[in-house]
Structure 1
Amino acid sequence: MLAPVAIGQQLSMLKQNKFIKVYLDLVLTSTYVCSQLKDYDSGNVIQRERLDYEKISDASLLLPKIKKILEIINIDFYNVVEPKFIFDNNYYIFVPDSLYIKGKEKTFLKFNVGLESDDYITTDSIEKLNIYNIYLPYVNINNYLIEKFKKLEFYHYNTVLINKIVSVSNSDSCHCFIENTDLKILIIENGEIFYFNSFSYKTLDDILYYTLLIINDQSFKNKNIPINIHAGKKIDEIKVKFNNFIKNISVIKNNNFAQVL
């Protein structure tokens, strides 16, 4: 007798949620998708969910992950006022302001990505570093979200990640971002991006190898640069392993939710 009442109460609460205005943030990568709901008036986080999965190489298989996370948070029972979509892929290139020419995005991107004649290309700005990020968005996912929410603000993951770092400080520094099986290494020198790249890894030894490879490159002059390792787990293990090989290192624990939220 109690179960039907509980279900009815739950449905009633969900229906009431339709009147709650929210910001929706979605983050999608090849190994996880996560969502964040924030109250529109207060800005307080209402709900966070994350769904991890085996690495996906076929981009067409990512849309079902977006649909699944939206189902998990019962998004249809909220009034989404500002939807934001942040996604990660390797279809991008950084171009300095001094070289960027509006309308010539395909000319730049073709050096990094095999392009089709009808590919849609767009750009983000990393203003503090005077750089444009030219990239291919996931058009099918964008279209789905626009159809569902009537509008959409979207960014490349690397844009948001780097903007977040330089908003705190753009002094000389090296940042290693560890997330599932992916590693990103960012080096800022003299207020510019000296190096940025992504790697796949299996062990902490792989991460250490890639980090040492980059910071020991002969073209990298500042050998005393602070190294910041951003990770959500194995914090103590990372400290022990890296301290044996690298000086001036800090391990920064994130909330294991998403580097960009």
Structure 2
Amino acid sequence: MVTTTKEKKLYKKLSIQVSLNGLSFCILNQEDNKITYLKKIEFEKQLDPIKVLSQIELTYEKEEALNQPVDEVLLLYTNSLFSLVPENLFDEDNASNYLKFNTKILKTDFIAFDNIQGGIVNVYIPYTNITNYFFDKYGEFEYRHSLSVLIEGLLDLPDAAEGTKVYLHSHLSSYELVILENGKLLFANSFEYETREDFLYYLLFTAEQLKLDPDKFELILLGDINRTSEEYKMAWDYIRNISFLGPFHSFSFETDHKPEEELSEYLLLKSL
């Protein structure tokens, strides 16, 4: 349950990330800034939203910690059903029009949008069955698209205004590419890939279209990628300046809930 203003404040915030490839859950104790629960579940294959909901229900049955009362709930949707629109061109009454060229829209689809700093609106399709499930469980709560969290987090970096930077946030078989130029968003998109050659192709093709020289731009990695990843090794052969994002949060962790790679939980932790 989510506490109301009449109930005692618990100082606990739950963040949930939902994709068709997996789930992540995180609980923050805001009194001592400590992560008290962190759970990541990867599916063997991509599921549809109905089967994802079944996995969510199963997780709540198995994980006792998820059934504790919290003050706040934030749900992040990670999917490719989005489109970025300049705020001055956005018309809420015609939100579906911004998506129809990127994805197939059903009459039953609900269109949502996030206002992002820098005058950008992220228009996207959340999974209505999953939204309804969490509304039934917690009452009113906030949900956003994970790309919105990613872009805002990168725009807030101290060195975001310095030159051109290419940020690659990797998942197991997809990644988001966010490019900033002198502190402003130049490009943001997501790519699905099957081979490491595909991984490299989308990256280099985007750089070519934006006239970015692989010998000069800085590629900064985060998400499910590290120095042992095949994708990293291939990128290293073609791009001169590669690094990993530095420290991005001030949380401490309960011993049993510290992730092996904190960058792999960037979106979840950044949303808290």
TM range (shorter): 0.7 to 0.9
1:233 Cα deviation (Å)?
Answer: 4.5
Matched residue, 1:248: 241
SS in 2 for 1:115: coil
Aligned with 1:67 (options 57, 60, 66): 57
Conservation of the 8 A alpha-carbon contact between 1:96 and 1:130: yes
Conservation of the 8 A alpha-carbon contact between 2:168 and 2:176: yes
Aligned-partner residue type, residue 166 of structure 1: L
More off after superposition, 170-179 vs 186-195:
186-195
Question: Residues 52 and 81 (structure 1 numbering): CA distance in 2 closer, same or farther, change over 3 Å?
Answer: same
1:178 Cα deviation (Å)?
Answer: 1.6
SS in 2 for 1:188: strand
2:173 aligned with 1:184: no
Aligned with 2:201 (options 209, 212, 225): 209
More off after superposition, 69-78 vs 156-165:
69-78
User: How many corresponding residue pairs?
Assistant: 241
Per-residue CA deviations over 1:200-240 (Å, capped at 9, x if unaligned) read 223433322222222122x4356622111224454145554
Matched residue, 1:258: 265
**Structure 2 gap segments, 5+ residues each:** 1-8, 247-260
2:76 aligned with 1:86: yes
Aligned-partner residue type, residue 255 of structure 1: E
Question: Residues 204 and 222 (structure 1 numbering): CA distance in 2 closer, same or farther, change over 3 Å?
Answer: closer
Matched residue, 1:229: 221
SS in 1 for 2:70: strand
**Structure 1 gap segments, 5+ residues each:** 1-18
Q: For residues 150 and 266 of structure 2, what CA distance do their matches in structure 1 show? A: 7
Matched residue, 2:14: 24
SS in 2 for 1:61: helix
Question: What TM-score does the superposition give when structure 1 sets the normalisation length?
Answer: 0.81
RCO higher in structure (CA 8 A, sep ≥6)? 2
Question: Residues 72 and 182 (structure 1 numbering): CA distance in 2 closer, same or farther, change over 3 Å?
Answer: farther
Q: For residues 155 and 41 of structure 2, what CA distance do their matches in structure 1 show? A: 28
Q: For residues 136 and 197 of structure 2, what CA distance do their matches in structure 1 show? A: 44
Question: Residues 74 and 20 (structure 1 numbering): CA distance in 2 closer, same or farther, change over 3 Å?
Answer: farther
SS in 2 for 1:89: coil
SS in 1 for 2:262: coil
2:202 aligned with 1:198: no
Matched residue, 2:138: 149
Matched residue, 1:139: 128
Conservation of the 8 A alpha-carbon contact between 2:10 and 2:71: no
2:96 aligned with 1:103: no
State the identity %: 23
* C-alpha RMSD over aligned residues: 2.5
SS in 1 for 2:199: helix
Question: What TM-score does the superposition give when structure 2 sets the normalisation length?
Answer: 0.78
Aligned with 1:220 (options 211, 217, 226): 211
Aligned-partner residue type, residue 144 of structure 1: Y
Conservation of the 8 A alpha-carbon contact between 2:165 and 2:217: yes
Aligned with 1:160 (options 129, 134, 149): 149
Which one has a bigger Cα radius of gyration? 1
